[in-house]
Amino acid sequence: GGPNVSTARAVREQHGHDESMHGCAPPDAVVWPQAVGQVQELAALCYQHRVPMVPFGTGTGLEGGVNAVQGGVCFDLSRMDAITELSLEDFSVSVEPGVTRKTLNNHLRGTGLWFPVGTVDAGE
C-alpha cells in the first residue's frame, strides 16, 4: 500500500511508454516491489485474477514493451537495486533487476572492471 502502489494518472502515464515511437498505453496501477517474495505474491494475484503484468525497468526500451495495451499492473522494479554478489575471479556479478549500468559501474570502480553499454567487434 501507500508509497508502494499508485493509480495516479501521471504515474500510470509515466509507466505506459518507453523511448519507442508507440503512443502511451498506461497500466491500471503501478506497484514497486522491493523483494522477490513481493514479486511472487503480486504475480500470483495477477495470475489468479487474470490481470496482465508489465515489468518496468528504466523506461528506455525501444520496442514498446512497457505499453500496457490491455491494462494491468506495472511492476516497477527500480527499488530492487541490490548488487548481491561480485566475483572478480570469474568476472561475474549477481544483481537485482533494478540495478542500472551506472550503479553497477560505480560499484565496480577501482576493480579494473566495468560493464559497457554494448560489445565492440575486434574488427571495428
In the chain, domain spans: 2-76, 81-115
The distance from CA 74 to its chain's CA centroid, rounded to whole angstroms, is 10
Q: Where are the alpha helices (DSSP H) in the chain?
A: 9-14, 36-48, 101-108
Q: Are 94 and 85 in contact (CB under 8 A)?
A: yes
* Residues 44, 31: Cα–Cα separation, whole Å: 14
At 66-123, the pLDDT tens digits run 999 999 999 999 999 999 999 999 999 999 999 998 999 999 999 999 988 754 444 4
Reading the block at residue 38, the C-alpha cell is 513481493
- Residue 40's pLDDT is 97
Angle at 24 between CA 11 and CA 96, to 5 degrees: 55
Kindly report the CATH number that applies to the domain delimited by 2-76.
Answer: 3.30.43.10
Q: Residues 114, 66, 42, 94: what is their CA dihedral angle, to the nearest 10 degrees?
A: -10
Query: What is the structure's pLDDT at 116?
Result: 86
pLDDT digits (tens, 9 = 90+) for 7-38: 999 999 999 998 999 999 999 999 999 999 99
